[in-house]
Amino acid sequence: MSSNSETASYVVGLIGADIGPSFSPSLHEREAAELGLRYAYKRIDINELGIAPEGVGELLRMAQRRGFRGVNVTHPCKQTAVEHLAELSADAAALGAVNTVVFEDGKAVGHNTDWPGFQQSFIRGLPDVATTRVVLLGAGGAGTAVAHAALSLGVERLAVVDTDFDRAGALARSLRRRYGDDRATVPARLSAELRRADGLINATPTGMAAHPGSPLPLEHLHDRLWVADVVYRPLETELLRHARHLGCRTLDGGGMAVFQAALSFELFTGCEPNTERMLRHFALLAEDAPAPVTR
């Protein structure tokens, strides 16, 4: 933070691939303006710069040298960034991934606001649903964050499904180590698991404009399920549209995107953002945005 005038001023950024369409700059800068902060949010796109995900360390050092207050980190750098940081929050260390880096006292400190982002969105959007048995599709970066949020929220048994079977197994094992032996499993058959499930969470990219369609056969859905999606471009995915048609309660990915941004904003500035205002701003951005072709 620089304080050469009465107004606090911050430069922050986003490191990732193909981040041109990201809502983050607008979401952060608009909220900062509402709070009377001078705040610039810059995109640092590794594809435009011709840098491999492993080059994230050099970009972090450059941002620190240039006086950035911090950066958000997104696909495909959330894991590769970890080894370049001086410190990690306990949650970021447990997840092995960061989406927020704050430069403080000359040190780069990593945080993960994706998982509390999903948690807060879930509490707001589906506060009273049954959570005895839940199916999670996707054991990648988002799936790992969502799994920790789900088990912290009290989901009794999480069934982890990924087309990459080893990935599902690795996530289920790490969840069992942290939360207990009976809390996470890899089901033998998705259709059978869904029949007895209370909820379904999609944390795969399927449903995005660049990956259209549904991540599972839609005939597996039933009206006793609630359905959450982390995809937020578009907000109404094919999965959510079908679930709503059946009468399921649903949660779109916009809430997670806003709450993770709000938590990062607070880490950067120390100021508490107005999340309801950010949610309204996000809805306008989503309405106005042309159909995205990248993540």
Least distance (Å) between residue 179 CB and ligand NAD = 20
Name which of 3 and 188 has its Cβ closer to ligand NAD.
188
Cα–Cα distance, 221 to 104 (Å, whole number)? 47
Cα–Cα distance, 223 to 63 (Å, whole number)? 49
Q: Is there a catalytic annotation at residue 107?
A: no
Q: Which of 28, 75, 78, 111 is catalytic?
A: 78
Cα–Cα distance, 261 to 269 (Å, whole number)? 12
Cα–Cα distance, 129 to 228 (Å, whole number)? 12
Interface positions with ligand NAD (CB under 6 A): 75, 114, 117, 137-143, 161-164, 167, 203-206, 208, 215, 230-232, 253, 256-257, 260, 295
Cα–Cα distance, 115 to 100 (Å, whole number)? 12
Residue nearest to ligand NAD (CB): 140
Look-up: residue for tokens 């403080």?
Answer: 104
H/E element, 14: strand 9-16
Cα–Cα distance, 74 to 8 (Å, whole number)? 26
As a whole number of Å, the CA-based R_g of the chain is 19
Name which of 64 and 80 has its Cβ closer to ligand NAD.
80
Name which of 250 and 260 has its Cβ closer to ligand NAD.
260
Q: Return the percent helix, strand and coil in the chain, to nearest 5.
A: 40, 20, 40
Cα–Cα distance, 257 to 60 (Å, whole number)? 22
Name the nearest CA neighbour of 56 among 71, 39, 41. Answer: 71
Name which of 208 and 243 has its Cβ closer to ligand NAD.
208
Amino acid identity, residue 198?
A: D
Name which of 8 and 46 has its Cβ closer to ligand NAD.
46
Least distance (Å) between residue 288 CB and ligand NAD = 18
Name which of 103 and 259 has its Cβ closer to ligand NAD.
259
Alpha helices in the chain (DSSP H): 24-34, 46-49, 56-65, 90-95, 114-125, 141-152, 165-179, 190-195, 238-246, 254-269, 275-288
Residues with catalytic function: 78
